[in-house]
């Protein structure tokens, strides 16, 4: 199980607000309900699942601003791919909480 932290940055929108694009990205993720877990945060979106599927989803999410007419998009991703034990968003949070 892998976790990807993704931030899609639409460039040249003419406004500082990007919530319209974030909402569209969340709609794409809803199509994968039951196959991946995802969580919107104030600064990015986390997605959890099998790495090959997550990378496919990353490409789809990167395309969202282009589909809305933009000509430039920057996307940042971080991949946490742990293979020695189960790696989930919940487990990572529980580990920290247990130490507090």
Tell me the per-residue pLDDT of 13-61, one tens digit each, with 9 for 90 and over.
999 999 999 999 999 999 999 999 999 999 999 999 999 999 999 999 9
**Residue in this structure with the two tokens 């789809």, named with its chain if needed:** 60
End-to-end CA distance of the chain: give it in Å, rounded.
Answer: 25
**Mean pLDDT score of the chain:** 96
In the chain, pLDDT over 90 holds for what percent of residues?
94
Residue carrying structure tokens 């607000």: 17
Q: Which CATH class is domain 2-99?
A: alpha beta
- Mean pLDDT of the 82-96 span: 91
DSSP 36: B
What residue segments make up the domains of the chain, in order of their start? 2-99
Q: What is the per-residue pLDDT for 9?
A: 96
- Residue 4 or 86, more confident: 4
- pLDDT for residue 86 is more than 90: no
**In this predicted structure, what is the pLDDT of residue 44?**
97
Per the structure block, which two tokens stand in for 79? 């991949």
In whole angstroms, what separates CA 16 from the centre of its chain? 20
How far apart, in whole angstroms, are the C-alpha atoms of residue 97 and residue 92? 9
């Amino acid at each position: 199980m892998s976790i990807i932290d993704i931030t899609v940055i639409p460039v040249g929108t003419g406004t500082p607000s990007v919530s319209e694009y974030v909402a569209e990205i969340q709609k794409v993720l809803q199509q994968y309900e039951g196959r991946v877990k995802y969580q919107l945060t104030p600064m990015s979106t986390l997605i959890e699942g099998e790495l090959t599927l997550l990378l496919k989803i990353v490409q789809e999410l990167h395309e969202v601003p282009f589909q809305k007419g933009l000509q430039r998009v920057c996307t940042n991703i971080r991949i946490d791919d742990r293979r020695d034990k189960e790696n989930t968003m919940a487990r990572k949070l529980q580990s920290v909480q247990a130490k507090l």
